[in-house]
Amino acid sequence: MAKPIHDQAEGLRRLRVQDSLRIVTTTAGRAGAGKTTTVVNLAVALACGGKKVLVIDENVGVNNICATLGLNAHRDLLDVIRRDKTVEEVIVTSPQGFCILPAGLGMRVLGALSPGDQTHLIGAFASIAQGIDVILIDGASGRTGLSLLLALSSHEIVVVVSPEPASITAAYALIKHISSHHEDKRDYHVLVNKASVEAEARTIFDNMESVAKRYLAVKLHFMGFVPYDGKHCVRRTLAGGFSASALEAAFGQAAESLTCWPCEDGEGRGLERFMQRLLQSSQNSRPYIASTDF
């Protein structure tokens, strides 16, 4: 017996959601919100769920993900731009089942690339797009617009915020700044990190949503909250064997939420298009300065 038309349509919609490449920039208004911890644990949770995950890391030095996980990363996206290495040779595979592309140095020269270098970089990313389900971008916090450029070029934005008043203020200011420079960015996913209980996280989100609804033409979505026991830090992630079941469940739910976000129909959402938009944005970048008008 044939399925009703509406059941068939729902099945096709779910298939698109499952098969579409997701590109998500994770950012924060300021350092200390737990952004990198969030990226690593989301990558672990997604990989455990059978997704092929690539993390593009904008951070450099001791703050990057490879250093955090104790992995050796001797190359950077800059080596690909210089044609010294291929993207495949720069990518690092983590023991936790996801891949990492160190990109901090390369990101800083995007605005100065020649047309030939831009074409080469777009082609390089096209070569690795096959089979990737999710790309998580760990955008640096509190910098001069690189995180903003990544956010403008990605399909989804996750803003990580902690209960500290300064973190909340900076997160709202960042959303305001992005929306003022890119009117098409109307949806933002908010993850409240280091909350003691869900009620606290909900209160933080509700307050942000209320102000955003009143003053900004954007829509905030509650992605969830991550509990804090006073010990949680970037080196005690799921990847490092952190045994708190509540923490594991929180990131698992957040990862599941991410995979169920609706996908837009049409073209222009692939990795090549992402790089084209990122390169275009980098030509006219301007500094991001956090405001305090929340």
The CATH number covering residue 134 comes to: 3.40.50.300
φ, ψ at 70 (rounded to 5°): 75, 30
Confidence of residue 284 (pLDDT cuts 50, 70, 90): low
Select the highest-mean-pLDDT range: 64-78, 89-103, 130-144, 275-289: 89-103
Amino acid identity for residue 202 in this structure? R
CA-CA distance, 81 to 84, in Å (whole number)? 8
**156: domain range?**
20-279
Q: Is the pLDDT of residue 3 over 50?
A: no
Residue of higher predicted confidence among 265 and 213: 213
Does any domain span residue 174? yes
Residue of higher predicted confidence among 77 and 279: 77
Does any domain span residue 104? yes
Total domains in the chain come to: 1
Residues 6+ apart with CB under 8 A from 33: 141, 160, 161, 162, 167, 171, 193, 194
Q: For 245-280, what is the HEC assignment?
A: HHHHHHHHHHHHHHHCCCCCCCCCCCHHHHHHHHHH
Does any domain span residue 140? yes
* Chain-centre distance for alpha carbon 281: 17
> Which pLDDT does position 243 carry in this prediction?
46
Does any domain span residue 24? yes
pLDDT in tens, 177-210: 888 877 777 899 999 999 989 999 999 999 999 9
Does any domain span residue 252? yes
Looking at 205-214, 233-242, 245-254, which range is the least confident one?
233-242
Say what percent of the chain tops pLDDT 70: 79
Tokens linked to 191: 């993850």
> Which pLDDT does position 55 carry in this prediction?
96
Confidence of residue 19 (pLDDT cuts 50, 70, 90): low
Does any domain span residue 172? yes
Confidence of residue 20 (pLDDT cuts 50, 70, 90): confident
E strand or H helix at 80: helix 77-81
Q: Is the pLDDT of residue 12 over 50?
A: no
CB 155 within 8 A of CB 271: no
Does any domain span residue 289? no
Q: Is the pLDDT of residue 239 over 70?
A: no
Does any domain span residue 40? yes
pTM: 0.83
